[in-house]
Structure 1
């Protein structure tokens, strides 16, 4: 099963490109689902058809879904929300306000990822296309499973034991109810399911496709996204440059735009060297409906397979050497001054800009000593040697 995620700066047309890719995949014979994780759902607008909370057929072998966040929230967060409501009730918070306070930020996107997990496990689909939220929200979302994993391994077990042992004293002293086992179980279940989602999205059949328009600000964000997605182990398999003006010759005003876009597109090719860069020509009318979206995607991919599996080993790999091993982490568009590296026990702490990844080392590496590290050729290389520990 193939999973394709589309993201990009808000307003670049990622929903249109994602929808067109899915429509072309369905035309090629793949049973395809388009799923939106963007709180501002726009798939119904792109297809020009009503879209429900369950997979809705819009063409042969093509289904579209906009997740019912409220229903999924009640299913996945009910125990945790119930406990938080009881705490706020003791504190005297108005019930309506309390219910709003217990909705986690980004809940719709998180629950949409859980919906993706269910569809992937169902075996009903050949291709799942995910129309993600704008870039910043997508990056925070994709970093969540690993960040929650660190909390679950380091803090959660201690917290659970302390609350269980001291529950009668804490309840009396604090005057608020302590969480029951069902609350802890719900958190563990949420973590386990998000961890499965991360395994799916960082696997060999999944990849991210960046959508941009030929503008310097948009390109800068796309470059950062490429770096950050690689940092967290997600594979980027291509870029779609959308709304590209046709060749010069119409009038001086448009010729100026064409020249400006041409300069940015040259930077796009350089920034994403080694990746396919597909171009979507600017059209006067926005494509709406399955037929128009299919035609757009056919023009963009120009005969190439829009859902071909990504090639290569992915952004994270370990190679053996005679002295030990080398950990390779792709970090495109960075230099050594952009990267900070530290070791903390069995983890490597890799910081790039405002993003930090706590990388749990495989057992085969955690026993070795870090002998050196360097940033070159678009990646971080950490050399491990011997049988000791730092």
Structure 2
């Protein structure tokens, strides 16, 4: 099953292009679902039909779904929220205010991805196209499963055991209820489901497609997104430049816009070298409906297969050398001075700008020591070697 996520800065037309890509896939004979994880749903507007919280058929082999994040939130967060509400009740917090406080910012967008997991595991689809939230939100939610995994592996087991054994004492001492086993089970279940989402989206049949408009600020954000998505192990397979003005004839004002866009597009081609950059011309009217959306996508992709499996090496891989190993992490558009690297026990901490990733090293690397690192051709390469003590041991 092919999974394709489209994202970009708000307002660049990613919903229209996600809908068009899905319509084209269905026309090609694939049973296709296009779903929105964006809180500001636009797919119903793009198709011009009412769309529900479950898959809604809009054409032969084409289904649309605008995820009810609130419903998914209640299903996955209810047990945890009930416990938090009980704590705030003891503290004397107003019930309405308490309910607002127990809603984690961004949780609804994250939990909407659980619907992607459910649909992927259903076996009903050949293709799932995801209309993601704007870039910043997408980056945060895609990074969460791995960050939560670190907590679950190192902190959560100890915390759960302590609370379980000392719950009566802690409850009396603190004066507030301690979490029961069902709360810990809910957290574990949520983590497991999100970890499955991460595995799906980092798999060989999944990729992210960036949508941008030919503007300097938008293109700069797309470049940062490519770097950050790669940092977290997600594969970007192409870029769509949307709302490109056609060549102007006898119109000096429009000719100025065309020239400005062409300058940005030249930079985009250079920045995203190695990736296809498709262009979508500016239209006098927004395409609405399956036929118009499919025609738009057919024009954008031309002779290319919009569902072609992503190629190239995985974002994260390890190669063996004579004296150790090399860890490879794809980091496009990054220079060595932009990367901060630290080793903490069996973890490698990679920081690029304001984004940080904790890589838990495979057992084969964890016993080795870092010998050096470099950034070459858009890839971070960290060299590992046998510890000095091991090298000095007599044969």
Q: TM-score range by the shorter chain?
A: over 0.9
Match status 1:331 vs 2:343:
no
Rounded to whole Å, the distance in 2 between the matches of 1:106 and 1:26 is: 32
Aligned to 1:146: 146
* Cα gap change, 1:246 to 1:95, in 2 (>3 Å): same
Tell me by how many angstroms 1:97 deviates: 1.9
Rounded to whole Å, the distance in 1 between the matches of 2:267 and 2:240 is: 14
Match status 1:38 vs 2:47:
no
Deviations 1:5-28 (A, max 9, x none): 000000000000111000000000
SS in 2 for 1:340: strand
* Cα gap change, 1:145 to 1:389, in 2 (>3 Å): farther
Deviations 1:128-152 (A, max 9, x none): 0000000000000000000000111
Aligned to 2:393: none
Match status 1:59 vs 2:56:
no
Q: What does 1:340-379 align with in structure 2 at a 5 Å threshold?
A: 340-379=340-379
Q: Is the 8 A contact 1:149 1:195 kept in 2?
A: yes
Q: What does 1:128-277 align with in structure 2 at a 5 Å threshold?
A: 128-277=128-277
Structure 1 segments of 4 or more deviating over 6 A? none
Structure 2: gaps of 5 or more residues? 391-395
SS in 1 for 2:274: coil
Tell me by how many angstroms 1:387 deviates: 5.3
SS in 1 for 2:33: strand
SS in 1 for 2:4: strand
Rounded to whole Å, the distance in 1 between the matches of 2:129 and 2:389 is: 43
Tell me by how many angstroms 1:37 deviates: 0.6
Aligned to 2:99: 99
Rounded to whole Å, the distance in 2 between the matches of 1:131 and 1:172 is: 49
Rounded to whole Å, the distance in 2 between the matches of 1:206 and 1:389 is: 43
Rounded to whole Å, the distance in 2 between the matches of 1:112 and 1:90 is: 31
Structure 1: gaps of 5 or more residues? none
Deviations 1:130-176 (A, max 9, x none): 00000000000000000000111111111111111221111111111
Aligned to 1:321: 321
More deviation, 278-287/156-165: 156-165
Rounded to whole Å, the distance in 1 between the matches of 2:49 and 2:345 is: 54
Aligned to 1:305: 305
Aligned to 2:81: 81
Deviations 1:253-311 (A, max 9, x none): 00000000000000000110000000000001001111110010000000211111111
Deviations 1:27-51 (A, max 9, x none): 0000000111100011101111000
Tell me by how many angstroms 1:389 deviates: 8.8
Q: Is the 8 A contact 1:367 1:388 kept in 2?
A: no
Rounded to whole Å, the distance in 1 between the matches of 2:333 and 2:316 is: 16
Rounded to whole Å, the distance in 2 between the matches of 1:214 and 1:68 is: 33
Rounded to whole Å, the distance in 2 between the matches of 1:112 and 1:324 is: 42
Q: Is the 8 A contact 1:55 1:65 kept in 2?
A: yes
**How large is the Cα RMSD of the aligned pairs?**
1.2
Tell me by how many angstroms 1:314 deviates: 2.1
Q: Is the 8 A contact 1:35 1:131 kept in 2?
A: yes
Tell me by how many angstroms 1:213 deviates: 0.3
SS in 1 for 2:309: coil
SS in 2 for 1:278: strand
Q: What does 1:97-136 align with in structure 2 at a 5 Å threshold?
A: 97-136=97-136
Aligned to 1:386: 386
Rounded to whole Å, the distance in 1 between the matches of 2:388 and 2:144 is: 32
Rounded to whole Å, the distance in 1 between the matches of 2:339 and 2:120 is: 35
SS in 2 for 1:284: coil
SS in 2 for 1:381: strand
Tell me by how many angstroms 1:69 deviates: 1.9
Tell me by how many angstroms 1:235 deviates: 0.2
Deviations 1:80-132 (A, max 9, x none): 01101101111111212212221121122112110100111111100000000
Rounded to whole Å, the distance in 1 between the matches of 2:288 and 2:388 is: 61
Rounded to whole Å, the distance in 1 between the matches of 2:343 and 2:328 is: 15
Deviations 1:348-383 (A, max 9, x none): 000000000000111111111211101121110001
Rounded to whole Å, the distance in 1 between the matches of 2:31 and 2:308 is: 15
Tell me by how many angstroms 1:72 deviates: 1.4
